[in-house]
């Protein structure tokens, strides 16, 4: 295997089947894909978004930004608990750690405890973002990847198999990039993730792979060392 510890960033839409809330069948399908990779022996940590419940830029219009962001953090925790349930249903030991303290349902985020879980073969799901408003889950994923000493940050997409010059679902002729530098992403204004996440990875030489989660065995293939999706690095 090329990678032995990875951070997987998932959007909330994976939990809903591109709808609203949590759809059990969509969540189970996601858990099966993650299980296949986990069975290779790789250590996996996950950051999940909350867009299937709440998008502050839309639902939070007219609200205090910090309040809207905290609501979004709660949505990510709901997704983390649902994904934990689905993973454990297929036999994968899992722990949820949250940046907001909700001890009745999850552990508080403690870096050393997270590392210990990973070493014991448990998947660790980080909910609640970073616990701070004005910070996206994209940036939270980059931060957690660095904190746990992941070898790569994997940003999963749905129906899009990498980084394109324009939205390929709207523009079928858009060019796909196989490899990009961090600066190219920033200079070209590619909206693959927020600029803070890119800058954080660039400053710490954390490679990023953007890929289609449900493309035939994509997650397993990346971990084995195959080129899948778009690689962003120095």
Distance of CA 137 to the CA centre of its chain: 8
**Tokens (6 digits) for 197:** 């996440």
Ligand-binding site membership of 130 (annotated)? yes
SS3 163: strand
Question: Is 121 within any annotated ligand binding site?
Answer: no
- Determine if residue 163 is labeled as part of a ligand binding site: no
Tell whether 161 is in a known binding site. Answer: no
137 annotated among ligand-binding-site residues: yes
Taking a C-beta distance cutoff of 8 angstroms, is the pair 191, 174 a contact? Answer: no
> Is position 98 annotated in a ligand binding site?
no
136 among annotated binding-site residues: yes
* Nearest-angstrom CA–CA distance, 68 and 51: 12
Burial class (CB in 10 A: 0-12, 13-18, 19+), 133: middle
**Closest to 12 (Cα-Cα) out of 2, 4, 22, 3:** 22
Element (DSSP H or E) covering residue 31: helix 24-38
Q: What is the CA radius of gyration of the chain?
A: 17
- Is 188 annotated to bind ligand? no
The two structure tokens encoding residue 45: 């940590």
Q: Are 161 and 72 in contact (CB under 8 A)?
A: no
Whether 9 has a binding-site annotation, put simply, is yes
Residue 67 among known ligand-binding residues? no
200 is in an annotated binding site: no
**Residue 11 annotated as lining a ligand binding site:** yes
18 annotated as ligand-binding: no
CA distance 194 to 137: 9
Ligand-binding site membership of 19 (annotated): no
Whether 164 has a binding-site annotation, put simply, is yes
Record the tokens describing residue 17, joined without a space. Answer: 């089947």
Residue 169 and residue 159 in contact, taking contact as beta carbons nearer than 8 Å: yes
56 is in an annotated binding site: no
51 annotated to bind ligand: yes
Is residue 134 part of an annotated ligand binding site?
yes
Residue 167 known to bind ligand: yes
- Binding-site members for UMP are 50, 69, 130-137
As annotated, the binding site for ATP includes 9-12, 51, 55, 158, 164, 167
Return binding residues.
Answer: 9-12, 50-51, 55, 69, 130-137, 158, 164, 167
């Amino acid at each position: 295997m090329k990678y032995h510890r990875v951070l997987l960033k998932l959007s909330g839409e994976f939990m809903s089947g591109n709808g609203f809330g949590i759809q059990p069948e969509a969540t189970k399908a996601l858990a099966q894909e993650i299980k296949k990779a986990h069975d290779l022996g790789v250590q996996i940590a996950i950051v999940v978004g909350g867009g299937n419940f709440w998008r502050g830029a839309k639902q939070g219009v007219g609200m205090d930004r910090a309040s809207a962001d905290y609501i979004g953090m709660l949505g990510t925790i709901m997704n983390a608990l649902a994904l934990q349930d689905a993973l454990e249903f297929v036999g994968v030991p899992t722990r949820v750690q949250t940046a907001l303290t909700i001890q009745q349902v999850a552990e508080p985020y403690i870096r050393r405890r997270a590392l210990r879980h990973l070493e014991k073969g448990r998947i660790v799901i980080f909910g609640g973002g970073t616990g701070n408003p004005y910070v996206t889950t994209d940036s939270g994923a980059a931060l957690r990847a660095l904190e746990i000493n992941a070898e790569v940050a994997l940003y999963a997409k749905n129906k899009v198999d990498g980084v394109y010059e324009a939205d390929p679902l709207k523009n079928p002729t858009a060019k796909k990039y196989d490899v990009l530098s961090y600066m190219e992403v920033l200079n070209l204004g590619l909206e693959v993730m927020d600029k803070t996440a890119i800058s954080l990875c660039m400053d710490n030489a954390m490679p990023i792979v953007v890929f289609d989660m449900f493309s035939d065995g994509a997650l397993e293939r990346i971990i084995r060392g195959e080129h899948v999706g778009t690689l962003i690095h120095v």
